[in-house]
Amino acid sequence: MNTTGVSGCRTRCFSSLELSGGRRWLRQGLLLGVLLALFAGPVVMARAAAQSSSSPTSSGQASAPDPRLQKAYRFQQDGWTYVHLEGTPGEIGFQHGYLLAPEIADALEVVKLEDTHTSKRDWAFFRKASHDMLWPHIDAEYKKELQGIVDGVKAHGVAIDLDDVVALNAFQELADYYVPWLNQREKRAAVPGLVAPGNCSAFIATGSMTKDGKIVIAHNDWTSYMDGARWVIMFDIVPQHGNRMLMDGFPGVITSDDDFGVTSAGLMIAETTISKFEGWDPKGKPEFVRSRKAMQYANSIDDYVRIIKEGNNGGYANDWLIGDRNSGEIAYLELGLKNTPLWRTKDGYFISSNFARDEKVMAEETTFDSKDMTSSPNARRVRWEELMAQSKGRIDVEMAQRFLADHYDSLDKKEQPNARSLCGHGENLLARDSQFEWDPYHPGGAVQGKATDSSMAAKMSLRARTGHPCGQDFLAKEFLEKHPEYAWQKPVLRDMKAGPWTTFTAGQKAAQ
């Protein structure tokens, strides 16, 4: 990871401590103190910031603690980094940037490598697109939050600017949606055959489908293991305006981005991407802004649908699963650029695994082949339908966790963890997936899982597990030794260890 700013700060901090003999303990003690301040314990980073900013100045006077950090904290639990953010947009951004500065610097290096390698465009291209095309269409509130992230990471000694942060937030939509659209528009020769990827598996059920008649929702985040090993932030956000949100997320990004969360308005949200989607509106609002705004301000299913569609740019086109615990109603929004069909019910279920449900969306906005049963989206769709039929009237959170860990291959009709199982293991893929465009042994798949129900959501609570929801670990060194064709990922590919299923709640503090 590139932590030049952080490392440089540490070097400068200790260059004057050239101690020896009996004073070496002082140097070691100071080093340990700084490392603990950076990485350990509840509220540690916020309190460390307040303490350091209260140290004597050159005039001998103590400076005041930074008030932006007083309500924020972070702690580690079962592989997750829980981060509480609270306040104005600028305060929330600053807290986010400061508390997660090392993780943001690391995540940015991953995104730079991944996006430039797959698109064959340099990072300057993504910065320019963010500055010229995306920034003008971002709401003022989120401009302040993004600038706050920049201010926070800089206060922590990390050299990242606003264009970097906007490009990081748009890493899903720029490389996979904007670039393919631009390549076609410019009629560029010898470009990579980029298609919109298929990420995630999810379901939502209510009424006669569930054990208590209320909503159950669950979601696997599918992405590259480069991203997945870092997609382990649990955000508890209390904004100045709008609803409180508990959601998983990626360092430096203001929305969940694999989009699972619960809100104080009673909404329960998940989504999966639409495979092989094509379309982009350069004058539209970034998807990362629309999804964050919908989660923050929607008080009903209708609100969510309206907000997520406002200024739709076609980026990161998803099927949205939305539940309202107040009414028991669930909905399925297929958010294309030209077509946005909506289904809703108070008794039934919706499943999603990267297939276009609506024939018009499929025909007009994708190149997806719904009849190719060797591909992951179609195989998982079959498995979801089997599980729903087998489990009617018994679905609860515990069962949802088992669904997310499922290894049944509906094509070969046997248990085998691969890219066709709900708990996806692309590293076991033996042949190219025609709809995902994944090469054999692709290091990607289900990188974590989440589940909740109406009762838990009423308490702003959810269950989550890092790594493969089945509990298997991914070991980077072992994988790269077997598959040198993926050596380009070596600088950032790391082990992805599975943690236990853990309950998280808004306002939670570290266990003592």
Beta strands in 318-443 (DSSP E): 318-324, 329-334, 342-345, 348-352, 408-409, 414-415
In this structure, what CATH number is given to the domain that contains residue 309? 3.60.60.20
Residues 209 and 161 in one domain: no
* 381, 344: one domain: yes
Sign of CA dihedral 310, 314, 315, 319: positive
Name which of 239, 205, 221, 176 is nearest 395 in CA terms: 205
CATH number at residue 19: 1.10.439
CB within 8 Å of 44: residues ≥ 6 apart: 36, 37, 73, 74, 75
The pair phi, psi for residue 7, each rounded to 5°, is -60, -40
What gap in Å lies between CA 383 and CA 422, rounded to an integer? 8
Name the pairing type of β-strands 233-239 and 80-87: parallel
Give the residue from 151, 186, 221 where a domain finishes: 186
Query: What tokens does 316 get?
Result: 């990161």
pTM (2 d.p.)? 0.88
If asked whether residues 162 and 283 sit together in one domain, one would say no
pLDDT tens-digit map of 297-343: 999 999 999 999 999 999 999 999 999 999 999 999 999 999 999 99
Distance of CA 134 to the CA centre of its chain: 19
In a domain, residue 463? The reply is: yes
- Domain membership flag for residue 348: yes
- The DSSP element (H or E) to which 380 belongs, if any, is helix 376-391
Residue where a domain stops, chosen among 133, 158, 186: 186
Q: Within a domain: residue 195?
A: no
Question: Model confidence over 264-300: pLDDT tens digits?
Answer: 999 999 999 999 999 999 999 999 999 999 999 999 9
Q: Among 268, 332, 272, which Cα is nearest to 294's?
A: 268
Residue pLDDT, tens place only, 345-401 = 999 999 999 999 999 999 999 999 999 999 999 999 999 999 999 999 999 999 999
pLDDT in tens, 438-488: 889 999 999 999 999 999 999 999 999 999 999 999 999 999 999 999 999
Nearest residue to 380 (alpha-carbon basis) of 414, 350, 343, 423 = 423
Residues 435 and 318 in one domain: yes
Give the residue numbers spanning the domain of 77. Answer: 4-54+62-186
CA distance 10 to 329: 53
